[in-house]
Amino acid sequence: MKYLNQHEAISVDEELFNEYKFSVDQLMELAGLSCAHAIAEAYTPDSLKTNKVLICCGPGNNGGDGLVAARHLSLMSYEPYIYYPKRTEKALFANLQHQAECMGITVATECPTSDRVEAEFGLIVDALFGFSFKPPVRDSFKPIMEVLQKSTLPIVSVDIPSGWDVELGPQSDCDIKPACLISLTAPKLCAKHLVNAKHYLGGRFVPKTLEEKYAMNLPTYKGRDLFVRLN
Amino acid sequence: MKYLNQHEAISVDEELFNEYKFSVDQLMELAGLSCAHAIAEAYTPDSLKTNKVLICCGPGNNGGDGLVAARHLSLMSYEPYIYYPKRTEKALFANLQHQAECMGITVATECPTSDRVEAEFGLIVDALFGFSFKPPVRDSFKPIMEVLQKSTLPIVSVDIPSGWDVELGPQSDCDIKPACLISLTAPKLCAKHLVNAKHYLGGRFVPKTLEEKYAMNLPTYKGRDLFVRLN
């Protein structure tokens, strides 16, 4: 299986929208749903000290995947709580937030303290930055990155562990250590730097022709599964 | 569990879009995916004489669900072939068709003959008309309805068996007999007229507040399942 560099990841994404004519709504729904399913496989509610999940959503599409995953987790015996500090004007994101709130999920702008996170939650989902991220982390996200770095809770990263260089992996000033990574579409090069972490692939929507063009050599998804374990 | 009348079904749909701010892209993707999953549960490829599935898509949202289901079935060891005679100008539908074609699925406008259907396919998906249908069937759809009525293959209907009155069930001039019905969101009254048919519920996205407003009393979806068997 191929690990994509940042340029390839961006090109694959653009082709899905421009050549294959998928809408962001469609693929974000499928990506977020596959994250929720992989989480439900990796961390069943009764394997956690509580079913409360802190979902940290960044300003871009990675954050959107988190908003979708939160909604689906709330339909599967989890109690998500969303930290979503930087919102965009785009209707899609406002609607995803509204849908989550309609499901009874709190969507907060205030960064939770480390003490609160450790006391209240059983799992953290890191949907802060995705494959278009370039270090360093902006100041406004440093407080939540610090919470994630300090936490003893398992962290599930969506597509890219936040703060990591998409190709080079952990950066000295800001390296969170996810217990689980869910790569979307295809893994990116940074995933080679995972240590003692579960690794899943989600985003079961890649057309064969696109897979072949980028020589992705994706693994086979089993049955109806929306994810596949890579290690 | 409640069976919705036509007015309720239309109202629930409108509320999902207007009050809960879901996009059609999102819910059609989830609905079509749940249909593909229920089909994969009810009719595994090796239980059929062939994995070729004829998917008959109507001009509205029911047809859109069929286009989405076809794409996901093609990712799960089925070979879908779409009959989609009446297309709309809407970008969503043109894009769904394009995505299916990019997956290598034929999307045809010519009605297949009964002989061809019996010889070539193992399963038929009926995504012609949905919950806003009012009898009688328009002339242009009579040929495919006749193929469905005559067929000995199992027919899976999406949400409403096509030609049926949404509340009263089979109509004398045009009653197909599905072997399986996949109700979406909540079953409609016509589902009480099913005979010897598997019945699934799909569309695991209904907010609790909406379920309660309409006293739907939905069954519990198990684990990660996107459908639940009702009988």
- Please check whether residue B138 lies inside any domain of the structure: no
Note down the domain range covering B28.
6-133+150-230
Does residue B94 carry a pLDDT above 80?
yes
- Please check whether residue A66 lies inside any domain of the structure: yes
- Please check whether residue A53 lies inside any domain of the structure: yes
Query: Residue B191 region, left (φ>0) first, then alpha (ψ -120 to 50), else beta?
Result: alpha
- Please check whether residue B189 lies inside any domain of the structure: yes
- Please tell me the predicted confidence (pLDDT) of residue B172: 76
What is this model's ipTM?
0.97
C-alpha closest to that of B64 among B14, B23, B104, B110: B23
CATH code of the domain covering residue A155 = 3.40.50.10260
- Please check whether residue B143 lies inside any domain of the structure: no
Provide, as residue numbers in chain B, all residues whose Cβ is less than 8 Å from the Cβ of A208. 103-104
Q: Average pLDDT in the B186-202 region?
A: 97
Q: Average pLDDT in the B102-106 region?
A: 97
Question: Per-block average pLDDT, block size 10, for chain A (231 residues)?
Answer: 98 98 98 98 97 98 98 97 95 98 98 98 98 93 96 98 96 87 98 97 98 98 98 95
C-alpha closest to that of A147 among A127, A165, A124, A120: A124
Q: Is B58 annotated as belonging to a binding site?
A: no
Provide, as residue numbers in chain A, all residues whose Cβ is less than 8 Å from the Cβ of B75. 204-205, 221
How far B164 CA lies from chain A's nearest CA (Å)?
Answer: 30
Q: Average pLDDT in the B9-31 region?
A: 98
Does residue B174 carry a pLDDT above 80?
no
Q: Is A134 annotated as belonging to a binding site?
A: yes
CA B25/CA A22 separation, integer angstroms: 9
Contact B21 A209 (CB under 8 A): no
State residue B58 phi and psi, 5-degree precision: -85, -175
Q: What is the DSSP letter of B226?
A: S
Contact B30 A25 (CB under 8 A): no
- Please tell me the predicted confidence (pLDDT) of residue A2: 97
Contact B26 A30 (CB under 8 A): no
Closest chain A residue by Cα to residue B38: A224
Select from B22, B76, B92 the Cβ nearest to the Cβ of A224: B76
Q: Work out how many domains chain B is built from and give that number.
A: 1
- Please tell me the predicted confidence (pLDDT) of residue B185: 98
- Please tell me the predicted confidence (pLDDT) of residue A135: 86
**A→B interface, C-beta within 8 Å:** 19-23, 25-26, 29-30, 33, 36-37, 40-41, 71, 75-76, 92, 94-95, 98-99, 102-104, 204-205, 207-209, 221, 223-224, 226
- Please tell me the predicted confidence (pLDDT) of residue B135: 86
Contact A102 B207 (CB under 8 A): yes
For chain B, percent of residues with pLDDT exceeding 90: 96
Does residue B173 carry a pLDDT above 90?
no
DSSP of B48-68: SS-SEEEEEE-SSHHHHHHHH
DSSP of A144-195: HHHHHHH--S-EEEESS-TTSBTTTB--TTS----SEEEEESS-BGGGGG--
- Please tell me the predicted confidence (pLDDT) of residue A117: 98
- Please check whether residue A145 lies inside any domain of the structure: no
Please state, rounded to an integer, the average pLDDT across all residues of chain B: 97
